[in-house]
Copies of this chain bind each other. A is one copy, B any other.
Amino acid sequence: MIPPQRPIAIVAIIFPGMDQIDLTGPFAVLARLPNSSIRLVWKDREPIRDHLGLGLLPDATLAETGPVDLLLVPGGPGQEQLMEDEEVLAFLRDMGESATCVYSVCTGSMICGAAGMLKGKSATTHWTALRLLKYFGATPSTDRVVIDGKYVSAAGLTSGIDGALRVAALLRGEEVAQSIQLAIQYAPDPPYACGEPEIAPPEILANVLTQTSELTARREATAQRIGAKLGIAVS
């Protein structure tokens, strides 16, 4: 926990082709932390579009961003480009080093992995990408939220809300996290029991695997290449 009187500076990186809910789910929780500020940052201040077209406005540039307490790294298809973007990777390493907590959502873990931040850590990511974490020296976990030291990761997209509530509890205590959960009326009631590959009906799983196969294959090639560059041996 961070003492209540000490402000918490939160920074989230946003980028073209991200998946907005990886950011906006956690934002709904973390922006409600008492005595905190949250800023979205990118290379410049031009609006970015997520991969489904939602336009988000950066609050500051990477260069303008000083040390932070909590670094939030969302994912989405655009993560691939970031994995080989030295400016971004250096920024994340830099911010991550002095942060109290680094929180990655979905394939945000892949970006952190490419930055070398996951070596020897347990982590999770979207279920279609989970086995790729090994290329970055991380141990993949099927838990929805994984906490390994100061590194917190959440699985795919909507899991960012679950993870953010855990992060809120780590930073400001359980009473604050519970009050936020009630304020955002988070008593989820999914219409189907199919939100994980293990429980989804086979034809639904087959559907989604077909829809994502091209992206998954490309992601694997990129992850493999970057892992080799990082000098990580994959068994």
Contacts and interface: CB of A to CB of B under 8 A. Distances in A.
A214 interface: no
22 contacts: A21-B27, A27-B54, A28-B52, A31-B53, A40-B54, A55-B56, A56-B56, A126-B185, A144-B189, A156-B185, A162-B190, A175-B207, A177-B191, A179-B208, A181-B190, A181-B191, A181-B195, A182-B200, A183-B208, A183-B211, A187-B199, A188-B190
B207 A185 contact: no
Which 8 interchain pairs have the tightest Cβ spacing?
A55-B57, A156-B185, A187-B195, A24-B24, A188-B188, A21-B28, A31-B52, A186-B195
Nearest to A201: B178
Interface of A: 19-21, 24-25, 27-28, 31-32, 38, 40, 47, 52-59, 106, 126-127, 144-145, 155-159, 161-162, 165-166, 169, 174-175, 177-179, 181-192, 194-197, 199-201, 203-205, 207-208, 211-212
Number of copies: 2
B38 A28 contact: no
B165 A182 contact: no
A208 B106 CA distance: 30
Contact of A186 (B27, B57, B174, B190): B190
Contacts of A194: 178, 181-182
A175 B159 CA distance: 22
B182 A195 contact: yes
Given A27-B52, A183-B212, A184-B21, A189 B162 contact: yes
B185 A195 contact: yes
Contact of A188 (B161, B166, B205): B161
Contacts of A158: 28, 161, 184-186, 188
A204 B179 contact: yes
